[in-house]
Structure 1
Amino acid sequence: MPHLPAPPAELVSFLEGLPDPHILVYDRYRILAANGAYRRLFGTAGGAEGKTGFFVEKMVPLPVAAQPVPSAQGLIGRSPAFQKMLGLVARVAPSRAAVLLLGESGTGKELVAHAVHQGSLRARRALVPVDCSSMPEALFESELFGHEKGAFTGAAQARPGLVEAADGGTLFLDEVGDIPLPLQVKLLRLLETGTYRRVGSTELRHADLRVVSATHRNLRHMVAAGHFREDLYYRLSTFPIHLPPLRERQGDTALLARALLERVAPPPRALQLSGAALALLEAQPYPGNVRELRNLLERTALLCDGDSIGAEHVQQALACGLPPLAGAVAQGAGVLPVSVALAGLPRRRPLPDDEALRQAVAAHQGSRLALARRLGISERSLYRRLKTLGA
């Protein structure tokens, strides 16, 4: 009998969260896993004692990659902390529960919100994001609930709000901790009763939506300080999910770096990371998490003229216009300073400023290649600088 693969942990977790009997099968109807409801109902042969029944099972294909290959736009990672988070997403997605995503800035909360929406029964309807941190308080209520014509100066016509746009789908409240206190009670009413009013209207409207919210703030501390309503907090946090920071995702930096590099330097350019470059990338603490890693890779790609990114390119990107970062890197737990991590590796000299480059060109009698070597830069970089200067 051929060896059966171990069922993916996230799918097993997903099955256990379903109230009805479900099984996970492989090809030729080999059962890999069964949820608790299935085991309780069909745990004994023939079903309930004294009964003979017929059953029809609906087969639904679940596309799962045979290997943990990172997708082009989705969630990328296979560390234990990341897989635990994915298991929680798979468990809560099919339900109607409000989800609160907690984590540092740059950990990918919006991507996880999309994953929750796509795994729900509302996936065919809209996921409507609301950036609570960038919306002025004076316009917040109008943007969220809509307004009637003449409700305020400039309201030339009636306009539906984001809640109406999310009807039947998912409303994603990003940085929910920034919602002004006066509006929190109106949001609470929406969550409790499914009703709201447009600005300038007495008509009570209904919305069928699911709320997924996210924040990098500590809402418990905000509740204690009186900056966030306690009842709203409990409404939003029916199912909280912590998104691990990149420093806690052992081994995921390499996966993320290769996938992000394809985005910041798409084909036909095919950049490769050397082992030393990857080791230096993995040594950083990344207080800005995945967003910071992407920015660092984009700078590195711009500083690399060839097809292979070396540790010297990463070092140059780390120091590029960010003097405080070098000190921060050196203070990270278990992280070596850049100077120590790169001991023995070739270093590039700082690029000359425009005036120094003009003087070097005027004094140089040899070839441009020789000048580039003397300046410690590539010939291509030298040509670019000279073209910019018109020299």
Structure 2
Amino acid sequence: MTEAGWLNTMTNVLDSYQDPAVLIDADYNVVATNSRYDYRFGGLSSAASEKCYYLSHGYQRPCDLEGETCPMQEARDSDKRASVLHIHNTPQGKEHMVIETIPITDEEERPYFIEVMKQVREVSAEPIANKMIGRSPRFNELVELIQRVGETSTNVLLVGPSGAGKELAAQAIHAASPRVRKPFVTVECSGLSDSLFESELFGHIKGAFTGATHNRTGLVQSAEGGTLFLDEVGDVPLAQQVKLLRLIETKTFRPVGESKPMAADFRLVCATHKNLLAMVEKGEFREDLFHRISTFPIQLPGLEERKEDLPLLVESILLRIDDQAPLRLTDEALQLLATYPFKGNIRELKNILERAVVLRADDEIGADVIQRSLNLLPLQPLPSRDGKNLTSLAREKASLEQVEQAYLQQLLATYSDKTQVAEIAGCSLRTLYRKLEQGEDA
């Protein structure tokens, strides 16, 4: 068979794939494409062939020479199928793609490679609302893990600092799973007291307890067939952890007041900003429960670990603050933000930008406005609500809970934004609400 005839045959093979696919020779030339590639990316130019790294990234040399993993090189070295996450240039902008590369040979034993491109729709490499956003290597590592585990039914534990986007990551796992068309149900564990735990998770029947005037469907049943997301699972009361363990192990539960167990069908994803292993050692978290929920742990990077994504995140947040005004930061303003530690991560970045939008004189936000926004943050702990210092509180023999409540109330009196108060106090927003409710009940 002639080379032209073999290429025609391979074009038919490429058309059997449901995703865009190309055939690449040993010199990185794209020599054939399928119809889905032509439709998605516009096909090849009039030239006989084009370099794959130029078409995909605009590079002038192979990906591995640009600091990225080259799927073709991996397939060539191993002589096996390789899979790599890349960011490709597309007519719609930059998009995350999983590239599967398959090494083959022609009749004369010359090496070729089939590359199949699958778009990752759960995240974005462009500014867009309600999705995880990023292009940095650390972010791409996270996306690759989400893609791999998303296709399974494995329990996932998301670990990361407050404000790092754990709930968005959980939603991305759900969106990448076969359960995507079923419910995604969030359980806010920080707000679940001993008395509320069973009723919230498992529901109750009419007359189960005083005030139960009707049947109530629990969150576990609401997640039937979908994903149950336990946010801040480290805050589940120790006395209730055995009931959560039983639910996970048996996939059954009983609504409060019901004698017969019900089957539960859900995929479990948990999240926490706490060190659960340290809690296990202190006896604050059950070891058997820890091992059940942490089958596949994923560490989410803080913003400090992915500063390369800062310009993209800034653009995205500004669009969400006001999509009618062409808001932008100057280069000097971006450079100033790049030096900031962001202990509150993306949530803190959002607060800083919202303050800057309020303080700005026009649609271009300079370094002076960002500095003013940063200066609104407190530099040291505040006194208690009535102005007493720690010494006077100690003399009054105030408990730790009373000191904490006094501090939180002073923060609330100074800063109206509860999200900012949570960041200053070093806790999640849900934990802040729980602590405030405890103060009201005291």
TM, length-normalised to structure 2: 0.61
Shift of 1:22: 10
1:71 aligned partner: 128
Q: Which has the higher contact order (CA 8 A, sep 6+)?
A: 1
Contact 1:265 1:298 in 2 (8 A): no
Contact 1:254 1:282 in 2 (8 A): no
Instruction: Write the letter of the residue equivalent to 1:275.
Output: D
In the alignment, the residues of structure 2 paired with residue 171 and residue 2 of structure 1 have an alpha-carbon distance, to the nearest angstrom, of 46
Contact 2:99 2:118 in 1 (8 A): no
Instruction: Write the letter of the residue equivalent to 2:52.
Output: L
Contact 2:225 2:266 in 1 (8 A): yes
2:437 aligned partner: none
3-state SS of 1:249 partner: helix
- Counterpart selection for 1:207 from 264, 281, 284: 264
Distance 1:185 1:316, change over 3 A: same
Instruction: Write the letter of the residue equivalent to 1:4.
Output: C
2:251 aligned partner: 194
1:240 to 2:297 alignment: yes
- Counterpart selection for 1:85 from 142, 146, 154: 142
Instruction: Write the letter of the residue equivalent to 1:290.
Output: I
The runs of 5 or more residues in structure 1 that have no matched partner are: 47-58, 326-391
Residues 307-346 of structure 1 mapped to structure 2, 5 A cutoff:
307-320=363-376, 322-324=378-380
- Counterpart selection for 2:361 from 305, 308, 329: 305
- Counterpart selection for 1:4 from 25, 36, 52: 52
Shift of 1:266: 2.6
In the alignment, the residues of structure 1 paired with residue 257 and residue 121 of structure 2 have an alpha-carbon distance, to the nearest angstrom, of 49
Following TM superposition, the consecutive aligned residue runs of length 4 or more in structure 1 with deviations greater than 3 angstroms are 5-10, 21-24, 43-46, 59-65
Distance 1:173 1:83, change over 3 A: same
1:33 aligned partner: 100
Residues 63-212 of structure 1 mapped to structure 2, 5 A cutoff:
68-212=125-269
Distance 1:277 1:97, change over 3 A: same
Q: Percent identity?
A: 46
Instruction: Tell me the alpha carbon deviations over residues 323-352 of structure 1, each in whole angstroms, 9 at most, x when there is no partner.
Output: 439xxxxxxxxxxxxxxxxxxxxxxxxxxx
In the alignment, the residues of structure 1 paired with residue 117 and residue 222 of structure 2 have an alpha-carbon distance, to the nearest angstrom, of 30
In the alignment, the residues of structure 1 paired with residue 147 and residue 291 of structure 2 have an alpha-carbon distance, to the nearest angstrom, of 22
1:282 to 2:330 alignment: no
Shift of 1:258: 1.2
Instruction: Write the letter of the residue equivalent to 1:127.
Output: F
In the alignment, the residues of structure 1 paired with residue 117 and residue 312 of structure 2 have an alpha-carbon distance, to the nearest angstrom, of 30
Distance 1:178 1:23, change over 3 A: closer
Shift of 1:271: 1.3
Contact 2:99 2:117 in 1 (8 A): no
In the alignment, the residues of structure 1 paired with residue 83 and residue 293 of structure 2 have an alpha-carbon distance, to the nearest angstrom, of 31
In the alignment, the residues of structure 2 paired with residue 213 and residue 164 of structure 1 have an alpha-carbon distance, to the nearest angstrom, of 17
In the alignment, the residues of structure 1 paired with residue 379 and residue 348 of structure 2 have an alpha-carbon distance, to the nearest angstrom, of 16
TM, length-normalised to structure 1: 0.69
3-state SS of 2:52 partner: coil
In the alignment, the residues of structure 2 paired with residue 284 and residue 63 of structure 1 have an alpha-carbon distance, to the nearest angstrom, of 31
In the alignment, the residues of structure 2 paired with residue 284 and residue 324 of structure 1 have an alpha-carbon distance, to the nearest angstrom, of 17
In the alignment, the residues of structure 1 paired with residue 351 and residue 177 of structure 2 have an alpha-carbon distance, to the nearest angstrom, of 32
Q: Quick check: 163-172 or 241-250, which moved more? A: 241-250
Instruction: Write the letter of the residue equivalent to 2:271.
Output: A
In the alignment, the residues of structure 1 paired with residue 307 and residue 82 of structure 2 have an alpha-carbon distance, to the nearest angstrom, of 33
Instruction: Tell me the alpha carbon deviations over residues 137-186 of structure 1, each in whole angstroms, 9 at most, x when there is no partner.
Output: 21111000001111111100111100000010000000000001121111
Distance 1:199 1:60, change over 3 A: farther
Distance 1:284 1:132, change over 3 A: same
Contact 2:174 2:184 in 1 (8 A): yes
3-state SS of 1:106 partner: coil
Instruction: Write the letter of the residue equivalent to 1:2.
Output: E
1:250 aligned partner: 307
In the alignment, the residues of structure 2 paired with residue 240 and residue 291 of structure 1 have an alpha-carbon distance, to the nearest angstrom, of 23
Distance 1:189 1:60, change over 3 A: farther
Shift of 1:312: 0.8
Shift of 1:127: 0.3
2:320 aligned partner: 263
2:281 aligned partner: 224
- Structure with more strand by fraction: 2
Contact 1:93 1:116 in 2 (8 A): yes
Shift of 1:252: 1.2
In the alignment, the residues of structure 1 paired with residue 117 and residue 341 of structure 2 have an alpha-carbon distance, to the nearest angstrom, of 42
Contact 2:194 2:239 in 1 (8 A): no
Distance 1:64 1:131, change over 3 A: closer
Instruction: Tell me the alpha carbon deviations over residues 23-76 of structure 1, each in whole angstroms, 9 at most, x when there is no partner.
Output: 99x9xxxx96247xxx8xxx8999xxxxxxxxxxxx9963679x9323332111
3-state SS of 1:189 partner: helix
Distance 1:286 1:32, change over 3 A: closer
In the alignment, the residues of structure 2 paired with residue 147 and residue 239 of structure 1 have an alpha-carbon distance, to the nearest angstrom, of 32
Distance 1:321 1:45, change over 3 A: closer
Instruction: Tell me the alpha carbon deviations over residues 207-226 of structure 1, each in whole angstroms, 9 at most, x when there is no partner.
Output: 11000000000000011111
RMSD, matched Cα: 3.2
Distance 1:302 1:180, change over 3 A: same
In the alignment, the residues of structure 2 paired with residue 221 and residue 202 of structure 1 have an alpha-carbon distance, to the nearest angstrom, of 37
Shift of 1:83: 1.1
In the alignment, the residues of structure 1 paired with residue 141 and residue 83 of structure 2 have an alpha-carbon distance, to the nearest angstrom, of 21
Instruction: Write the letter of the residue equivalent to 2:380.
Output: P
